[in-house]
Structure 1
Amino acid sequence: MAKDILVQRKGRIVHITLNRPRKGNLMSTRMKEILTDTVNGLGRDDKTCAIVLRGNGKDFCHGREQALPGGPPKNAFDMHNRAMGKILAVYAAFRNCPVPIVSVVQGKALGFGCALVGGSDVAYASTEARFALPEMAHGTAPTLAMAALAKVSPKTVCDLVYSREEIDAETALATGLVSRVFPPAELDNAVDGLLARLAAYDPVDVKAVKRFQWTGPQLHPDIMSDLAGYTLATVRSRKIG
């Protein structure tokens, strides 16, 4: 039986592939747990300088399975622990991982899949990629996905939620959901070029950028400036002498 998540190391880059192509890489509870544990583990590994997330097949990820192992939740506490907590753990793993996570998006990224893209540090998308948050059609307010899309234009996020309509890759680029857009035939080469650069950088510099990008914008501008200065001074001091 094929594994639902594949993990492959290529030098200092680790590739994680969602591997349920016949189901649009729909994420089960177990897949979320594996993804969380894998990212957390790689974050403690000094040999890794970047993580790449892809979906096998024509689509990136259609979201997550609604059914929970063990049957319906008994109460709100049970629901949070068995459902919401598993999702939030993935987002936290992405956020707290010391090295950048690069999503490579082809086809559809829906619901939880769209949130994975938003929670990545860099996202390269095919011109054929499409993004949507269809949860309201199923009676679910997608507040968890919205939390992962904090860096995306708030008006775009609200429109995705309320309209449930897909947006194309160029719109996703304009609103900050993805970093760059490429024709399908050029996507892999573009990703390889980025990964080669990341592998060549000083790993401390790479980690400092990741940490500052997630921490700095949440601070008062004066405190953010101080953090920027002290971060750079600390990193540069390693290279003195």
Structure 2
Amino acid sequence: MTSHVLLERRGAIARLTLNRPEKLNVLGAEMVSELRTYLAELGADPAVRVVILEGAGKAFMAGGDVVNFYANLPHMPKLIRTWATAFHDVIQDLRSMPKPVLAKVHGAVAGGGLSVMMACDLAIAAEGTKFTLAYANIGTSPDGGSTHFLPRAIGARRALELALITDPFDAARACELGLVNWVVPDAELDARTTEIATRLANGPTEAYARTKALIGATFDRTMAEQLAAEVESFSACAGTHDFAEGVTAFVEKRKPRFEGK
């Protein structure tokens, strides 16, 4: 049986590839299950310090499997509770991953694909990438955390524009809105992704994990609560090997050699 997600490890960099290229990597139960398994494995592996998430073939992810929706129309209200709940576990796994996750996107990034990309910490897009929220085109509201991520990233009014109007937009617009961090020529996507991932893999992994947690929680806290959380996080980092190395390297005027611990 063909795996719907492929895992490749190269040193401290793990690469997860969505592998339904014949269907533009649309979500299915097998893909969701395999993603959960791999994300748990990589999150617990101290040898992995950064994860790249990408799509095989012509697209990153074209959203949900609408053909499957059609085949199960009479049962969809019940089925979608099961399917969407499992999908949302993947979104939570990406957000709680204790190391950076870099989305490498190209081709179509639609519906749930946009949600998955936004659940990653950083995103790099090929110039030719096309984005759309698309849910309204099939008569439903978004899932996958889109209604959580978008208003925080671009404001409620622009989030409503993307959700209600659903016009596709290009990579330059996605970067302008703050949905992706970098846009590169299609031919340079692989090299630039590897360059960024290598930089992250050589960084202070524990500090990255705590920074992710702080920024992820900030909208649910008062300023006083966030300040207290920053103190606790900084204090914990101060006991790590990488903090000692970073401080020592600063005093010795050299580049730090972080080990991710």
* TM-score (norm: length of structure 2): 0.83
Counterpart secondary structure, 1:213: helix
Q: Mind listing any 5+ residue stretches in structure 2 that lack a counterpart? A: 249-261
Counterparts of 2:143 and 2:28, CA distance in 1: 19
Question: Given that residues 98 and 206 in structure 2 are in contact (C-alpha distance below 8 angstroms), is that contact kept between their aligned partners in structure 1?
Answer: no
Correspondence for 1:14: 14
| 1:4 paired to 2:4 | yes
Correspondence for 1:129: 129
Correspondence for 1:105: 105
Q: Mind listing any 5+ residue stretches in structure 1 that lack a counterpart? A: none
**Which amino acid in 1 is paired with 2:199?**
R
Correspondence for 2:194: 192
**Which amino acid in 2 is paired with 1:187?**
L
- Equivalent positions of 1:49-88 (< 5 A) are 49-66=49-66, 67=68, 71=72, 78-79=78-79, 81-88=81-88
Counterparts of 1:39 and 1:15, CA distance in 2: 11
Highest Rg: 1 or 2? 2
Counterpart secondary structure, 1:149: helix
Correspondence for 1:178: 180
**Which amino acid in 2 is paired with 1:120?**
C
- 1:184-230 Cα offsets, whole Å, 9 max, x none, are 12222221111111121122122222222212343112221221232
Counterpart secondary structure, 1:48: coil
- Equivalent positions of 1:143-154 (< 5 A) are 143-147=143-147, 149-150=149-150, 151-153=152-154, 154=156
Question: Given that residues 73 and 79 in structure 1 are in contact (C-alpha distance below 8 angstroms), is that contact kept between their aligned partners in structure 2?
Answer: no
Aligned mate of 1:206, from 205, 208, 211: 208
The structure whose residues are more often helix, as a share, is 2
RMSD: 2.2
Question: Given that residues 63 and 110 in structure 1 are in contact (C-alpha distance below 8 angstroms), is that contact kept between their aligned partners in structure 2?
Answer: yes
Farther off after superposition, 231-240 or 155-164: 231-240
**Which amino acid in 2 is paired with 1:42?**
L
Shift of 1:80: 5.3
Shift of 1:149: 2.4
